[in-house]
Structure 1
Amino acid sequence: MFGNQQKRRFIVIGLGNFGMSVARTLHNDGHEVIAIDRREELVDRNAGEVTRAVVADGTQKEQLAEAGAENADCGIVSTGDDLTASILSSLALHDLGVKEIYAKVISMEHHRVMVRLGIQETIFPELESGRNLARRLIGKGLLNYLNIAPGSSIREMIVPPKWQGQSLKELRLSRTHGLVVIGVHDQLRDKMNIPPDPDRKLLVSDTLLVAGHDAAFLKL
């Protein structure tokens, strides 16, 4: 996570690959994570990777409340393959007063159902991974992509050969390309520098976090 963020309590329902990836990342970033699944073997397998793992039915409001969902800042519903469970779990979190709810969906129809129910934040991993792959295929040195507004993005990218050995001050990217480097990841030391040192020479092993208009990236 970027900067010093306040510790939050998350409740993750559904401990498949996606749900555990989210839970593990949040826990490793220092947040409290309560992980819930009705399958005891998954709960036992992942108990050491979260704050607390509970065998419970995520569609049942009473069981969620007993697990601590009422005090959660955010809920993540990762039972996307089971449409009914996804809907009921999201509604149960809403009824318990959880203000921020994210639901994994497996189709646009699933997404539309969740939106009609008032769950505005949906996650479509297959769609997003497909889009990111396409952008990597057509992008120059693109490693990751985050759309922040229509026509604008933050991109993780390798250092283009023509930038290597130069400092950000020398490159003047905001003036020459309309791009802003917000971070430099020193891969050799595994250290993310935010904000970056404008006088440090960029290395071939570095990766950059760059913000700007998509049209500007196409001109690189």
Structure 2
Amino acid sequence: MTPAGATTPHGTPDEPHLTVRGEAHLDADPEIARIGITVTARGKDRRETLADLTRRNTRALDLVKSHGDSVEHVETGHLSISPELGRHGRGERVRTHHGHLHITATLGDFTALADLTTALADLDLTRVDGPTWDLRPDSPAHATARRQAVHDALRRAREYADALGTTLTALLELADTAADDPHPHPPQGARFAAAPFAGAAPTDDEPAPLDLQPRRLHLHAAVSARFTLAPPRL
């Protein structure tokens, strides 16, 4: 016998349980973009290679910082200075040194993103990867997707209850079963095109800003909800 006010894991004829899944699929425009910047240097002398890498890093950082508040975050990642040994001859002799340093920049201004990406790509021995489109952690889109998932679960539960000729009486459990991390839609062709933005024409010494088209993001949220039902008449 079940004590008054208690529930059993699987319900009883007098208090049946109903478990449903609610889902939400939401498309949202990105709010930020990240680019990866890798500067490299190469030379026979280790210290000269390091000095060259330092100069290139400073130049890249100065270029990033020149865009002011459009750049929301900058961080330095992996740094490496490694020797390359010669393939011939006796003994181990260093043929040259390779230096690599990685920088990540986050921007919320996509016009500045195009200008910065183009300028960085024009630097010698500098690689640019990205952009990666994303939402901010506190974006309202996340809450919207979660609410829609809960509403979907409640709608489904009511439909099942209505099919049985009864009603929901209580919510027993609500579980988040899928993260609503945004994922970009598959690209529709190339995203990088050398086309200038509206405004002043670039000089002969400056490349035209890349035409970067932000990619829509897809959010998926899912919940599992368990309810009690008023005993249906079957």
Question: TM-score band, normalised by the shorter chain?
Answer: under 0.3
Name the structure with the higher strand share: 2
State the structure with bigger RCO (CA 8 A, min sep 6), 1 or 2: 2
Pick the structure with greater CA Rg: 2
User: TM (normalized to structure 2)?
Assistant: 0.21
User: TM (normalized to structure 1)?
Assistant: 0.22
